[in-house]
Each structure stands twice: as structure tokens, then as C-alpha cells.
Chains A and B, each alone.
Chain A
Amino acid sequence: MCRVAPVLIAAALCATPLLAQDSVIQRMQRRADSLLRSWHEVERLADVADSLEHFRATAGSDTIAVGSLRIIANRSPLPLREAAARAWPAIDSLYGSVAADLAEHPYIFRAVDPDTNVRRDPLHVGLEVPWDLDVAATVSLLLRTVEAPRFDRALGDWLGTVLQPAAGSRADGGAVFLQLVTAPSTAVRNCFLGELARCEDVLQVRDTTGLLERWYATPAEREALVTGSFAYYFGRGGTAALLQRCRQHHDDACTDLLRSLSLGTVPRPLSAEARLLLLREALRAGGRDAYPRLVASPEAPIGVRLASASGMTLDSLVIRWRGSILAARPAPLAMPWWAGVAAMSWTAIFGACALRSSRWRL
């Protein structure tokens, strides 16, 4: 018995922490379960609140239907029907047959007094719109707020902006032209000079393996990126020494730091506007069914989707995009011809005033 007792005591002492640990895990598990239950409860309450708010926002409102557009709004002088009639062709031509889905996602507007001093209840569903908007402004509002149907996350992440049916203007192309010329990136410059592969790189429509090195092709660019945009991020901890070496123009250090970043965190060489123009080009080339083809297979690579939407090869599409950007070159030195005529006229007018001055100084 005396021999067994110490063994039992030792076993009991060893088991106590295990039991304690087990109870901690169980306690945490119970808390997690409780939190999950609370979360589900909150979600249900939020759904109810949302439903009630939705009902409140649409109660006593009229529904305007034009094509597949559905607009729920209170009665007001707002020219919604006229605006919808004008906006619908633009929306329909962009989204094609998928535009029919818009009927399931109606606009909810509340026309309000344009006087901002008037007190009104807060609105949680839909948009408040001053009722004095004219037709053009209302059309613009409808086009700006339409939700692209079946617009998947992969497409949104690649695009980096929203796809709206507003017609691509020449100014957009001009802005992208400026980027092609002035962006601090050799890849972008080579795209401007006509290297198709570089265009596909900077538009992010090709294989993304080693893309960072292709985006930031020279040591100077890598150093500028790391020491400029990520100096704070790399300046502490284990990467501080590498950052220091990078600052001393050691490209291996800059490259190592660059490779440690994920693609999504690094600034893209071209803005979202460039990709938006490529997408619009694809949709324009592909005709009415381009958008349905674009959103048909969300899991496919973006280059394949664009090619499918446009009905041409990706290379042809990128060539077409580059051509449209080059054609949108902004006008240089914006002094119009009439400004020269005006300057000469004013010179003559002031000269004539001087000629009429008096010789007598009394």
C-alpha cells in the first residue's frame, strides 16, 4: 500500500492539469457555440428589420416598369418614367439578355424635398433623391446606380471598379493614354511602344506567375516600389535589414522583399480605368450577347472570359484596346486658335486707346 500511494498521488497530480486544460477547451467551445447562436439570432433579427424597412420604404409607392427596369418610388415630380425610357436602351445594350435579371432587383427611390433643412426620417433601404432633378440628371442617376447583373467577385477583383452603362468617353481613353506615357513602369512603356505581351501583363489578363517581376522589370522600379510604397511595412522586424540593403541599391534585397508580397497588395501599373476600357472594348466587339458570355463561367481565367465575350482572340482584343487608347491621345497645349485672335485684337484695342491719348497734360 505504501508503494502504491506515491504512484497514485503522482498520477493524480499529472492528470489535474490535463483535466483543467480540458475544461478550458470545453469552456471556450461553449462560448463559441453561444456566440454562434447569438450571431444566428442577430442575423434573423436583422433580416426581419431589413424586411420591415424594405416594406416601410416601398409602402405607398408606385412601381414604374420600363423594359426590365423596375423603379419603386413615392409620387413626386421626379421624371422617373422618362428617364427610365432613356436609360433602358443603354442598359439593355450593355447587359444584353442578362438585363432581364434586373427585374428582380428594383431601384428603390424616395423623392425628397431639395431643401436640406426639411426634417425627414432616415432611410435605410434605397436612395433619397431630390425631386427637382431634371431628366438628364435622373438618367445619369439610373445609369450610375444600376447593379451589373451576375457580376461575380473574380471579375470585380480584376476590374477594381464598377461596370456602368455610361458610354465610354474619349476623355477616359485620354487619361489612359497619359498613363501609358507617364506611368513609372517599363512594362507600361513597352506596352505603349507596341509589345503585346507587356500590354497583357499590365492589364493582368495573362498568366500571373512571376507577374510582379514583369510589372516591376528594372532594379530602379523595384527599389522605388519597395522603399516608396512599403517602407513602413518592411521597416520593422526581420525585414528592416533587407529594407536597409534595398535602400543601398542592392537589387537582390528589393526583389526578395517584393516577392514576399501578395499580388493583390502591390499597386498595379495601370489604373482600373484601363481595364474598364478593355472590358468595354470586349463588350462592344462582342455585340449584344457579349455580357452573358462574360459572366457565363466565373471560374475561368479573366483572359479567356474577355476573349469569349468579345468573340475574338485575346491578342486581337488587346491590339484593339491599344489602338483605341492611342487614338484618344489628348490634344496638346490647349490654347485654342481663337485665343490668338483675341490676344491680337486686344493688343490692337489697347494700342488704339493709347493713340487716342491727349498730348495736353493740364
Chain B
Amino acid sequence: MTAQFRAVLYTQWKWSRIIVVLGTVGAFAIPLLSLQGAARADRGALQAQDLLRSVQSWGTLYPLLAATLGLLVAIAAWAADHRGRHIHALTLPLPRWRYVLLRFGAGFALLAAPIAAVLIGALLATVTATLPPGLQAYPLALALRFALAVFVAYAVFFAVSAGTARTAGIILAVIAALILVQVVASMANLDLNLLETLQAALVFGPGPLVVFTGRWMLVDV
């Protein structure tokens, strides 16, 4: 099993190494850039608000990077199988679920690099910065949140990529049906807002995308 995992990991690394390396560099750079200028000890009272504003602005990049990494690594994991029309998988002496599990696990292993980069970058940025009194850095919480967002994004896109064209068609048909019903309801002046309900289900409560929402602050009160 270990040898199989190593082989799958190696092939997936070859297919997605550019994505992983670029993502790791970006993940390392964002925390450092978000606290640029905070290292100056002569900052006056005027800059505390500017610092928070800057951290908040850069914070929008974390969920974006997490979603992009999850999408691209998931696509890369199945790209070769799609190109070979899944013949190679049929020739392997492995049950399908184990083959998928190996691919899934290899993707997680590769995504550990950008997650670690966020953690190291955030720790480095907070160690070198001089924060105004009252503000605190949260590198661990930020890295944990980034990890969760990457995992959710990867799992979603991995599941979609692993499916057949028929599955993708069904998903698209359901979305189209929802939009159609919404349009008809709007034309009929009915008090029905399916898209808003769907959005609320996705991003509020225990929805799958809740981890992406809210403020991503490396430094906060």
C-alpha cells in the first residue's frame, strides 16, 4: 500500500508540481506582504487603522488561493485518466475505491506544502512585525483556516472530476433547473427565491463553503 501510494504521489507530483510550487510561493508571500511596513518601529498612532485595512485587503487572497489550489490540484489528479479515457485504471489490480483513495490522499499530501508555507510565512511576518498595542497576530488560526478551505475546495473539485460525464451533466441540469424555476417564479411574481436559499445553505450555518466566508485576518484586535 505504501509503495502504491508513493507511486501515485510521485506521478501526481509530476503533473501538478508547477501548481504546487507557485501556490507555495504565493502562500508564503501573502502573510509577509500583508504586514509590509509593520516592521517599522517608528510607526505612530495614525498607522494602526491602515495596518488593519491592509491586512484585511490582503486577507481576501487566502480564500481565493485556497479555492484555486483545490481546483487545479483536483483537475491535475484526474487529467491523465481523462486523457487516457480511464483505460489505465481498468488495467490496475486495485479496486476502484482504493485507487480513488490513493489519488485523494496524494492530493492532500501535495497540498500540505502551501498550507505549511502559509503557516511559516505568517509566523515569520508576525515575528518581524512591531504590532501596535491592542493588536494581536493569529498565525496558527489563519493557517488552520486556510488548511480547511484548501481541503474543502480540493474535495469538492476532486469529487466532480472523479465523476462521469453523466454525473457532471446531472449536476449541471439541476443547476439549470433551479435557475429556470427561479426565472419562472420571478415572472409569475411569486415570493420564491431559490438562489438566495441555495446561497444561504452553502455559505451559512454548517454549509460547505462557510469556511471561505468572513474576514481572514492575520492581525486583529
Contacts and interface: CB of A to CB of B under 8 A. Distances in A.
Interface of A: 177-178, 180-186, 188-189, 192-193, 218, 220-221, 224, 329-330, 332-335, 338-340, 342-351, 353-359, 361
B101 interface: yes
A339 B221 CA distance: 21
A357 B138 contact: no
Nearest to B205: A342
A186 to B, nearest CB: 5
18 contacts: A182-B48, A182-B52, A182-B134, A182-B221, A183-B49, A189-B132, A189-B133, A218-B45, A334-B215, A335-B141, A335-B145, A350-B152, A350-B159, A351-B155, A353-B159, A355-B96, A357-B163, A361-B165
Given A180-B134, A350-B159, A354-B104, A188 B86 contact: no
Contact of A340 (B148, B215, B221): B148
Contacts of A356: 97
Interface of B: 44-46, 48-49, 52, 85-86, 89-90, 96-97, 99-101, 104, 132-136, 138, 141-142, 144-145, 148-149, 151-152, 154-156, 158-159, 162-165, 167, 206-208, 210-211, 214-215, 217, 220-221
A361 B141 CA distance: 42
A181 B100 contact: no
Contact of A330 (B100, B155, B214, B221): B221
- Majority SS at the chain B contact face: helix
A181 B52 CA distance: 11
Contacts, number: 141
A354 B162 contact: yes
B221 A347 contact: no
B155 A342 contact: no
A10 B14 CA distance: 114
Contacts of B155: 346-351, 354
Given A343-B148, A350-B155, A358-B164, A184 B49 contact: yes
A193 B133 CA distance: 8
Contacts of B151: 343-344, 347
A220 B46 contact: yes
Nearest to A356: B97
Contacts of A177: 134, 221
A335 B211 contact: yes
**Interface-centre pick from B144, B210, B215 (highest chain A CB count, 10 A):** B210
- A-B interface, 7 closest residue pairs, ranked by CB to CB distance from nearest: A181-B134, A350-B155, A342-B206, A343-B148, A354-B162, A346-B208, A350-B159
A237 to B, nearest CB: 28
B138 A333 contact: yes
Contact of A338 (B101, B132, B206): B206
A355 B45 contact: no
A354 B159 contact: yes
Q: Point out which of B152, B165, B167 has the most chain A C-beta atoms below 10 A from its C-beta.
A: B152
Given A184-B49, A333-B220, 17 more contacts: A186-B44, A189-B45, A330-B221, A332-B141, A333-B142, A339-B211, A342-B207, A346-B208, A350-B152, A351-B104, A351-B159, A354-B100, A354-B162, A355-B100, A357-B96, A357-B167, A358-B96
A356 B152 CA distance: 18
A14 B207 CA distance: 95
B221 A178 contact: yes
A224 B217 CA distance: 27
B35 to A, nearest CB: 16
Contacts of A183: 45, 48-49
Nearest to B149: A343
A339 B207 CA distance: 8
Nearest to A361: B86
B38 to A, nearest CB: 14
Contacts of A220: 44, 46
B49 to A, nearest CB: 5
A106 to B, nearest CB: 40
A343 B152 contact: yes
A177 B220 CA distance: 12
A14 to B, nearest CB: 65
Contact of B220 (A332, A343, A351): A332
